[in-house]
């Protein structure tokens, strides 16, 4: 869902043709949520989300509400600064 939101923010009219025409943006967004990348390369990977969630006393496997996941994503964005014009 986060990748879809980022693509909508970056490409505005988000469909397959737009993604193919803007392959660099599409690839950059997918890299940010890549679970095989750690640290800044996969800034919003599930591993980084799980680590950052520990600050908010949320352990892996526990449910995040909209408020807590928003804080986690905001902190990851601040920590890794993925340079995507948020």
Would you state the pLDDT for residue 71? Answer: 94
The domain spans of the chain are 2-80
The mean per-residue pLDDT over the stretch 10-30 comes to 82
Cβ–Cβ < 8 Å for 32, 21 = no
pLDDT at 38 over 80: no
Cβ–Cβ < 8 Å for 39, 69 = no
Residue with tokens 């509400």: 65
Residue with tokens 């095989």: 36
Cβ–Cβ < 8 Å for 2, 44 = yes
pLDDT at 80 over 70: yes
Would you state the pLDDT for residue 86? Answer: 67
The mean per-residue pLDDT over the stretch 23-46 comes to 87
pLDDT at 74 over 90: yes
Look over the chain and give the mean of its residue pLDDT values, rounded to a whole number: 87
């Amino acid at each position: 869902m986060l990748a879809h939101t980022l693509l909508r923010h970056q490409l505005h009219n988000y469909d397959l043709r737009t993604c193919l025409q803007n392959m660099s943006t599409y690839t950059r967004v997918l890299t940010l949520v890549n679970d095989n990348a750690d640290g800044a390369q996969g800034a919003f990977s599930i591993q980084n989300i799980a680590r950052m969630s520990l600050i908010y006393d949320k352990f892996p496997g526990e449910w995040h509400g909209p408020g807590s996941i928003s804080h986690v994503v905001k902190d990851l964005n601040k920590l890794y600064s993925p340079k995507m014009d948020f």
